[in-house]
Chain A
Amino acid sequence: MDSLRRVILITGTRKGIGRYLAEHFLNLGDVVIGCSRSETDLESDSYTHFCLDVSDEKAVKKMISSVRKSIGYVDILINNAGVASMNHYLLTPKSTVEKLFNTNVIGTFLFSRELAKLMSKKRYGRIINFSTVAVPLNLEGEAVYAASKSAVVSLTKILSKEVGSLGITVNAVGPTPVLTDLIKTVPKNKIQELLDQQAIERLGTFEDVLNVVEFFIKPESSFITGQVVYLGGVS
């Protein structure tokens, strides 16, 4: 990486962890590019926002093409955009499966593919994906969500092998529940049951997630790839 300002692309920056990460990196002086389905009130000279559906291939390609032409490179991709759903398997509509896989898997796939192409030109890049502790915990009621995030884990591990020689690392963070809109409809007792399975029984915080992201993107982590770090002592 050269001495130019870092360019960080984060998906799902309108609210929650994505918004927090965007503001954090802007405060550090980085250039941040974000996206979400709708407009944002995040304003900064160093921030550019795109409105799109992360599973829309044409829109994603158009966005990355625009970034390539205006900035020329991206150092770090954080595939944060995600949707969750909790429901009994037998009562889960197909539309929920499609919605979760579109955002969580196809969105991660498309952004990783397009950004890895751009990163490969500079022979440098960091891709951070989002999994969840629901994967190793095999949580009841979260079959579809966990399946989609399991797919993200596989994408992370295999992509890391395919782009390792291009100077790109690919890792994932697996948060515990964090108080965001993602879990607002999940009953409190279900959250408690989940926390009871963690080594450290508390909700995660934005800072916990940031800490892992910062580890993955630091220059000294160039030999760390294909890894998934779960929070809360879950493995």
Chain B
Amino acid sequence: MNKSVKNIINQTLTNFIEEENIDNSIDVNESTRLFGSDALFSSIQLVSFITELEENLEDELDIEITLADEKAMSMRTSPFSSVKYLISYVEEKLKENG
């Protein structure tokens, strides 16, 4: 499951960067910041990316998931701040959902 989530997130990220024509010279890895200063995405791109990721998770894992819920919004470190936090947040959420 862990590998699967990680793969889905990485694949979504790669496709999204290509679709949005985001500077491909940026080294994208698990510590890449998704939003904030020096981040990969603008705020509207982050919204679109989360939407696309929700869809891909639903399609690949045959689940229904809402990533931007109250828990995500109230966490001290936003799960959307970096790729690493996002992977662990999604994995945890899937465990909670059974």
Contact = CB atoms under 8 A, between A and B. Distances in A.
A3 B76 CA distance: 47
A19 interface: no
A68 B55 contact: yes
A226 B63 CA distance: 34
B92 interface: no
B44 A65 contact: no
Contacts of B58: 65
Contact of A61 (B44, B52, B66): B66
Contacts of A69: 59
Interface range for B: 10 to 19
A163 to B, nearest CB: 9
Given A120-B48, A166-B44, A58 B64 contact: yes
Interface residues of A, number: 11
Contacts of A24: none
Interface in B35-75: 44, 48, 51-52, 54-55, 58-59, 64, 66
B64 A62 contact: yes
Interface string A112-155: 00000100110000000000000000000000000000000000
A38 interface: no
A65 B64 CA distance: 9
The A contact surface, by secondary structure, is: helix
Contacts of A58: 64
Contacts of B54: 117
A165 B44 contact: yes
Contacts of A61: 64, 66
Contacts of B64: 58, 61-62, 65
A197 B52 CA distance: 48
Max chain A C-beta neighbours (<10 A), residue from B48, B51, B52, B59: B51
Nearest to B44: A165
Nearest to B64: A61
A61 B42 CA distance: 26
Contacts of A121: 51-52
Given A65-B64, A117-B54, A120-B51, 15 more contacts: A58-B64, A61-B64, A61-B66, A62-B64, A65-B58, A68-B55, A69-B59, A117-B51, A117-B55, A120-B48, A121-B51, A121-B52, A165-B44, A166-B44, A166-B48
Which 5 interchain pairs have the tightest Cβ spacing? A117-B51, A61-B64, A120-B48, A165-B44, A65-B58
Interface of B: 44, 48, 51-52, 54-55, 58-59, 64, 66
14 contacts: A58-B64, A61-B66, A65-B58, A65-B64, A68-B55, A69-B59, A117-B51, A117-B54, A117-B55, A120-B48, A121-B51, A121-B52, A166-B44, A166-B48
